[in-house]
């Protein structure tokens, strides 16, 4: 049996893992889906004070409260920033055993979520933050979703706290690299804002790269393929 901690990306919540959780449970594992402050069912707590460190603390708190040992920590998209911060905090604790970056940001020290984005993306998001304090959700069609899947995600998405966008993460890469690390690359369609990360994990040693021919929200569009990738990481 393994423990999984699943951390959603921008605009989502614990709901994003609804199609993956039953498979983990039926395989005999425990799985905890975290909702980060200000989004999902915690959107009522939206605040300008929510920072990257807030989200790191959200996940850290679940791991400590559940007294997890040797957990697989899975971060989707923006949450690659979050799980990297958590891993740095817990490097000496025995709480973790494997890091899984699901089409996620893989930061280097002092980088932010925005660091890997094209100039026009950064400009558009910073403009939205300056006007409203949040980043409005991206239409799920950009992630290859159509029909009922697109509608399901569209009605659940909530704005992302804007202050997390340019928050830089200070961490020790040697501490984070002590665990096995898997990058799950969602290739059809490949999301442009993850392009830098795809190249990075193939250039750096120590990464296991798994490709899934689906869009960025693999937990929605290809839950069984994602489930199998997670189960292999736990094996």
Q: Hey, what's the torsion of the CAs at 122, 124, 130, 136, to 10 degrees?
A: -110
Q: Against a cut of 0.85, is the pTM above it?
A: yes
- At 30-65, the pLDDT tens digits run 999 999 999 999 999 999 999 999 999 999 999 999
pLDDT band at 229 (very low <50, low <70, confident <90, very high): very high
List, by residue number, the catalytic residues. 77
Q: Where does residue 153 rank: exposed (0-12), middle (13-18), buried (19+ CB within 10 A)?
A: buried
**Pair 90, 72: CB distance under 8 Å:** no
Give the pair of three-digit tokens for residue 48: 């300008």
- At 95-117, the pLDDT tens digits run 999 999 999 999 999 999 999 99
Give the pair of three-digit tokens for residue 5: 């901690």
Dist. CA 16–CA 45, nearest whole Å = 19
The per-residue pLDDT for 220 is 98
Tell me the domains of the chain and their CATH numbers.
3-234 (3.40.50.1820)
Using CA atoms, how far residue 43 sits from 47, 81, 119, 161, 228, in Å, is 9, 20, 28, 9, 31
- At 113-127, the pLDDT tens digits run 999 999 999 999 999
């Amino acid at each position: 049996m393994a423990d999984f901690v699943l951390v959603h990306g921008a605009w989502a919540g614990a709901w994003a893992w609804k199609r993956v959780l039953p498979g983990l449970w039926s395989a005999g594992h425990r799985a905890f889906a975290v909702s980060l402050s200000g989004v999902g069912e915690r959107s009522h707590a939206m605040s300008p004070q929510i920072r990257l460190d807030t989200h790191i603390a959200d996940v850290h708190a679940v791991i400590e409260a559940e007294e997890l040992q040797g957990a697989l920590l899975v971060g989707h998209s923006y949450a690659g920033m979050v799980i990297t911060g958590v891993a740095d905090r817990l490097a000496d604790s025995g709480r973790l055993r494997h890091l899984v970056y699901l089409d996620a940001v893989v930061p280097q020290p002092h980088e932010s979520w925005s660091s890997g984005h094209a100039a026009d993306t950064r400009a558009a998001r910073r403009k939205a933050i300056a006007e409203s304090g949040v980043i409005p959700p991206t239409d799920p069609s950009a992630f290859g979703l159509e029909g009922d899947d697109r509608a399901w995600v569209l009605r659940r998405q909530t704005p992302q706290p804007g202050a997390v966008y340019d928050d830089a993460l200070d961490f020790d890469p040697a501490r984070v690299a002590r665990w096995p690390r898997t990058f799950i690359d969602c290739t059809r369609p490949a999301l442009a804002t993850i392009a830098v990360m795809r190249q990075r994990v193939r250039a750096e040693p120590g990464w296991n790269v798994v490709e899934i021919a689906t869009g960025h929200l693999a937990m929605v569009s290809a839950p069984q393929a994602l489930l199998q990738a997670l189960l292999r990481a736990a094996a």
